[in-house]
């Protein structure tokens, strides 16, 4: 067991084999340290499972189980029911990627929620099948280059839109569903902590940049995720029982180009030669960029990201404090704040 750091558990500790700069490793470290080691973690197949349990070594320092790709929510349902049957109130957490949430795992997730299991389901959304080498998922945004949605003479990347999984989840009479991302740690922290106070099924979708699949510099994972929010492409919102109860206001809306330009997965849009008419009627890279801007604008309108009456905005949520703002709980020591 790793006890190097007196200020956090390191539930997900070092020696894991995530790529340098991995946003999912970062997000999972944050989430699991916020929840602590007194929980049972159920993992879907995917990057997180592969890079944390390799060659019969494990980076986990809390009880952790992986079964198969699609069934994490169902396995967790069983674990949660078993604990309940034994009068044990240890929290149960599911961790899955976007494949294990939006696609192959959606049915089990829906069942888990419908049955009201007391489980927090965390989706680390890196917007494609990264573990298998960057293939398109239903979470992949429109016009993104992946190995199975390649740009070409007749294509500008993925033809279809990113699935709005949050709305699907929220439509389940869902006690709590929220989005978060690594750049806004204190927002993420507040959401994890809030989720842990609510009984019943809870859902967190955490945008987790992937330097490999998104094709950006490893050092930019946090910066890129911040831009996803600031452009309006990834709204940070909370929904309780299906209703939007809070949003992070955009202090200033950034143009989508600021976000797209940092990432190789959008590069083809900036030097497009295609004349293809895509499924959504766009003709070339420039048109797709306009389309992505329109999608961002639509999300901003939908969640009123510019008008919302809240002090919680992208500037305030970024701010740090001398000696931190405190990090993790249950460490036996107060964080030095």
**Which residue spans within 44-174 are E strands per DSSP?**
53-54, 57-58, 64-66, 92-97, 119-125
Looking at the Cβ atoms of 12 and 170, the one nearer to other proteins is: 12
Nearest distance, CB of residue 63 and other proteins, angstroms: 4
| Alpha carbons 35 and 12: distance in angstroms, whole number | 11
| CB of 218 vs other proteins, minimal distance in Å | 4
CB of 52 to other proteins, least distance (A): 7
Q: Judged by CB, which is closer to other proteins: 275, or 319? A: 319
Give CA–CA dist 31/41, Å, rounded. Answer: 11
Name which of 199 and 322 has its Cβ closer to other proteins: 322
Q: What are phi and psi of 244, to 5 degrees?
A: -70, 120
Q: Which is nearer to other proteins, 57 or 245 (CB)?
A: 57
Q: Which is nearer to other proteins, 131 or 272 (CB)?
A: 131
Contact (CB, 8 A) for 288 and 156:
yes
The pair of structure tokens assigned to 282 is: 């766009």
Kindly state the smallest distance separating residue 100's Cβ from other proteins, in Å. Answer: 12
**What phi and psi, each to the nearest 5 degrees, are found at residue 106?**
-65, -40
Distance in angstroms (rounded) separating the CA atoms of residues 189 and 30: 8
As a whole number of angstroms, the distance between CA 283 and CA 68 comes to 40
Minimum CB–partner distance for residue 200 and other proteins (Å): 15
Residue position matching structure tokens 């510099």: 217
Residue number with CB closer to other proteins (13 or 149): 13
Pick 143 or 220: Cβ nearer other proteins: 220
d(CA 220, CA 211): 8
Neighbour tally for 58: CB within 10 Å = 14
Residues 6+ apart with CB under 8 A from 172: 110, 113, 114, 201
Query: In angstroms, what CA-CA distances link 313 with 29, 167, 188, 316, 320?
Result: 24, 22, 13, 5, 14
Q: Within a 13 Å sphere around the CA of 265, how many CA atoms are in the beta-carbon half?
A: 29
**Identity of the residue, 45 or 272, whose beta carbon is nearer to other proteins in the bound complex:** 45
Supply the minimum distance, in Å, between the C-beta of residue 209 and other proteins.
10
Asked whether the CA dihedral 15, 16, 20, 22 is positive or negative, the reply is negative
CB of 101 to other proteins, least distance (A): 15
- Nearest distance, CB of residue 323 and other proteins, angstroms: 5
């Amino acid at each position: 067991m790793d006890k190097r750091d007196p200020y956090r558990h390191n539930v997900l500790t070092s020696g894991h084999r995530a790529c340098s700069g991995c946003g999912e490793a970062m997000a999972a470290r944050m989430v699991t340290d916020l929840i602590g080691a007194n929980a049972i973690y159920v993992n879907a197949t995917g990057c997180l499972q592969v890079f944390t349990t390799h060659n019969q070594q494990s980076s986990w320092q809390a009880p952790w189980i992986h079964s198969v790709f699609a069934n994490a929510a169902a396995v967790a349902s069983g674990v949660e029911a078993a604990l309940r049957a034994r009068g044990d109130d240890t929290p149960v957490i599911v961790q899955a990627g976007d494949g294990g949430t939006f696609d192959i795992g959606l049915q089990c997730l829906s069942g888990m929620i419908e049955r009201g299991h007391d489980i927090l389901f965390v989706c680390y959304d890196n917007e494609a099948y990264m573990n298998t080498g960057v293939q398109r998922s239903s979470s992949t945004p429109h016009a993104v280059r992946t190995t199975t949605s390649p740009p070409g003479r007749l294509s500008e990347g993925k033809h279809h839109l990113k699935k709005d999984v949050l709305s699907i989840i929220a439509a389940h009479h869902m006690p709590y569903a929220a989005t978060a991302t690594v750049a806004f740690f204190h927002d993420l922290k507040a959401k994890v902590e809030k989720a842990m106070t609510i009984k019943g099924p809870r859902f967190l979708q955490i945008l987790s940049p992937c330097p490999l699949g998104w094709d950006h510099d490893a050092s930019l994972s946090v910066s890129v995720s911040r831009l996803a929010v600031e452009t309006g492409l990834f709204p940070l919102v909370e929904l309780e029982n299906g209703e939007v109860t809070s949003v992070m206001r955009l202090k200033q809306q950034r143009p989508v180009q600021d976000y797209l330009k940092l990432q190789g997965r959008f590069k083809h849009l900036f030097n497009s030669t295609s004349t293809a008419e895509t499924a959504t009627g766009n003709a070339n890279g420039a048109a797709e960029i306009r389309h992505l801007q329109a999608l961002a604008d639509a999300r901003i309108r939908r969640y009123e990201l510019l008008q919302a009456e809240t002090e919680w905005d992208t500037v305030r949520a970024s701010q740090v404090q001398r000696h931190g703002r405190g990090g993790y709980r249950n460490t036996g020591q107060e964080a030095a704040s």
